Structure 1
Amino acid sequence: MRSDDDSWDITTSVGSTALFVAASRALEAKKPDPLAVDPYAEIFCRAAGGDWADLVDGGAPEHVLRTEFGEQFVNFQGARTRYFDDYFTRVMTAGVRQIVLLAAGLDSRAYRLPWPGGTTVFEIDQPRVLEFKREVLAAAGAPPTAPRREVAVDLRDDWPAALVGAGFDPVRPSAWIAEGLLIYLPATAQESLFDAIDALAAVGSWLGVEEATPMPAEAFAAKRDEERAAGAEQSFFTLVYNEQHAPADVWFGARGWSADVTPLADHLERLGRPVALADPQSEAMIRAESLVTAVKK
């Protein structure tokens, strides 16, 4: 279960979900028609070893990513990655040169996107997560494509001060991403995060957010009990908070941002990967997801 002061590395608690996403991106990249290709996702899985390495080699038949839900989750990660890659392409075209990856995890965009000159990428996450990424990609001989500044701080601490201390300039426009983050924060922490982004973002700043409408309480509890009964050491439903402070488009829209919402299911449909799951609760989880972009006017 989560606690107010819990911490993690790349293989434990919330940190392990970054490997889950990396494995999904690696599997997506192996398809003949991938929605997105992250060449570093497989490298992270091999560095982690165990089932993560077996998975990208075609093994680990009992892994959840080999199930029907796992197949749909890989589609979801491919579509989500494509959406936010396109978002950053628009950010670059708009001339924004400060990029902030909130809870950066194993996001490799600082290494694989063609950032224009003058761009700085700030990555905020737990120290051991950032250390794992840095060391793995250095060993692979992969340099970042823009200056990359690690901000090793917990988002529950004073991360705005740490970000400014790392060289972030609140006077200049910036572009933010909260991908796969909000579900790991209680509603009060989501509100604090939104407040801090709005306070640090100058006019002309951009924001990309993935969010989910909370599940009915009984359905959420049933999913949590189901995972516990299966004997999972780290259950997804014990790591997440089934809470939402406010829809991002509504909250930021009330503060001068122009926001656009794309339901994940619609995005998957347009990309030729429609949602189709035998388990109604699993399908409902994916249909509850939305992808949001906003610009501060």
Structure 2
Amino acid sequence: MGPHGSLKGVAKTALGVAMVRAGESLRDDRLFNDPYAQRFLDAAPRAFPEEPTSAEDLAELGPLASLGAVFAFHGVLRTRFFDDYLLTATAAGCAQVVLLAAGLDTRALRLPWPGGVRMFELDLPEVFAFKEAVLAGCDAVPTCERSVLPVDLRESWSGELVAAGFDHAAPTAWLAEGLLLYLTADEAARLLTAVGELSAPGSQLAFEHGDIAGSVLLAQARGMPTMDPYTSLWKGGLGQDAPGWLRRHGWQPQINDLAELAACYGRPAPGPASGGFLTAVRTRRWAVVA
């Protein structure tokens, strides 16, 4: 079986994120450095056979060039923003970090964590089968304690997290990066309800909020046959109700605007920059149903 043979569907999107992170890591003005991203791509050389290889292919791609630039822009900013979010949360006392749908994230290896931080990475078994094989070949050494849990987040996973040593009485920094878009509203609500039940007061949570690109570009993507394998996976999560849902369930949310962050990072947007990132602080343990 080829090295990328088991990465399909949602799992395969992790390679697309790795491509964005590898590209950013080559820039002189990079916002982060992920030295492992290119290793994942090297281990899956034929993962994206739909990429253009000729002038005819490029012409057919047409409007998706703009869409790809916006997606890459968003992926770079969200990586840097969530890097900063997690480092700030752990410095403030969240000694546990949980990455929901960790994908090919390498923050456990590349960020300077405070002493005593323990990270739990949750994702599908096929993701970790690929990821751990590549990292083993890199002689990668975590800069915090790292635990890997192969689970399906659409099913029950809390018990496995606790069994792995997670302490539900301790404040935790949760990250659901690039996840909720692929869940229905009900699936997202179940997931975040479980997160709330495991979160002591003072815990923090972060995920994307709003469109990752302008609605016109998203409509173009949905109209392109080459994008069908990806757009068919988009379910929308909690949608625009995410801040209200969090307030009703024991969190105090804050929206971080993408355009403002782009200006702060000195990285101009290649097109309309809508949406942003939502962070929240846990104010009480148990979810309160509206």
TM-score by length of 2: 0.84
Structure 1 residues 24-60: Cα deviation after superposition (integer angstroms, max 9, x where no partner): 011111122112221111111111123669x9xxx96
Measured in 2, the distance between the counterparts of 1:187 and 1:238 equals: 16
Change (3 A) 1:235 1:99: same
Question: Number of matched residues?
Answer: 274
Measured in 2, the distance between the counterparts of 1:88 and 1:217 equals: 29
Q: Alpha-carbon deviation of 1:236?
A: 1.7
Change (3 A) 1:267 1:219: closer
The aligned amino acid for 2:127 is V
- Residues 187, 237 of structure 2: 8 Å contact kept: no
Q: Alpha-carbon deviation of 1:217?
A: 10
The aligned amino acid for 2:198 is L
Measured in 2, the distance between the counterparts of 1:99 and 1:150 equals: 12
- Residues 178, 208 of structure 2: 8 Å contact kept: yes
If asked which structure has higher relative contact order (CA below 8 Å, sep 6+), I would say 2
Quote the residue 1:254 is aligned against.
248
- Residues 24, 33 of structure 2: 8 Å contact kept: yes
- Residues 251, 280 of structure 2: 8 Å contact kept: yes
RMSD: 3.0
1:22-61 alignment runs, 5 A limit: 22-50=18-46
Q: Percent identity?
A: 39
Alignment partner of 1:17 is 2:3 = no
Quote the residue 1:296 is aligned against.
282
The aligned amino acid for 1:236 is Y
1:95-114 alignment runs, 5 A limit: 95-114=93-112
Measured in 2, the distance between the counterparts of 1:129 and 1:173 equals: 27
Q: Alpha-carbon deviation of 1:227?
A: 2.2
Q: 1:204 aligns to what SS in structure 2?
A: coil
Q: Structure 1: where are the runs of 5+ without partners?
A: 1-7, 278-282
The counterpart of 2:120, out of the listed 112, 119, 122, is 122
Change (3 A) 1:10 1:210: farther
Q: Structure 2: where are the runs of 5+ without partners?
A: 284-290
Alignment partner of 1:208 is 2:206 = yes
Structure 1 residues 153-212: Cα deviation after superposition (integer angstroms, max 9, x where no partner): 101111111111111111111110011111000010011011111110001111111122
Q: 1:130 aligns to what SS in structure 2?
A: helix
Change (3 A) 1:252 1:219: same
Measured in 2, the distance between the counterparts of 1:216 and 1:243 equals: 17
Change (3 A) 1:246 1:159: farther
- Residues 9, 126 of structure 1: 8 Å contact kept: no
Measured in 1, the distance between the counterparts of 2:27 and 2:184 equals: 36
Change (3 A) 1:186 1:215: farther
Quote the residue 1:227 is aligned against.
224
The aligned amino acid for 1:268 is A
- Residues 103, 123 of structure 2: 8 Å contact kept: yes
- Residues 28, 74 of structure 1: 8 Å contact kept: no
Quote the residue 2:69 is aligned against.
71
Measured in 1, the distance between the counterparts of 2:212 and 2:135 equals: 36
Quote the residue 2:186 is aligned against.
188
- Residues 120, 148 of structure 2: 8 Å contact kept: yes
- Residues 76, 268 of structure 1: 8 Å contact kept: no
Q: 2:43 aligns to what SS in structure 1?
A: helix
